[in-house]
Amino acid sequence: MMVLPAIGTIVLIALFPLAWTAWESLHLHDLRMPWRGRPFVGLENYV
């Protein structure tokens, strides 16, 4: 029971970057025109 907070912290530290990367990969990033924002394109980046 005492180790659960440590395990939870480690899991969050490991999973958050993976989840963030997966979410960002579903958006279009155009560094030449940042004022256009980052529209959601779904799986279009993978086709």
When divided into structural domains, the chain yields a total of 1
Work out the mean pLDDT of the chain and round it to a whole number: 93
3-state secondary structure 27-44: ECCCCCCHHHCCCECHHH
Element (H, E) at 19: helix 4-24
Q: What is the tens place of the pLDDT at every residue in 13-34?
A: 999 999 999 999 999 998 999 8
Determine the average pLDDT of the residues in 34-45.
92
Which residue range(s) make up the domain with 11? Answer: 4-46
Residue 30 near residue 13, CB atoms below 8 Å: no
Residue 1 has pLDDT above 90, yes or no: no
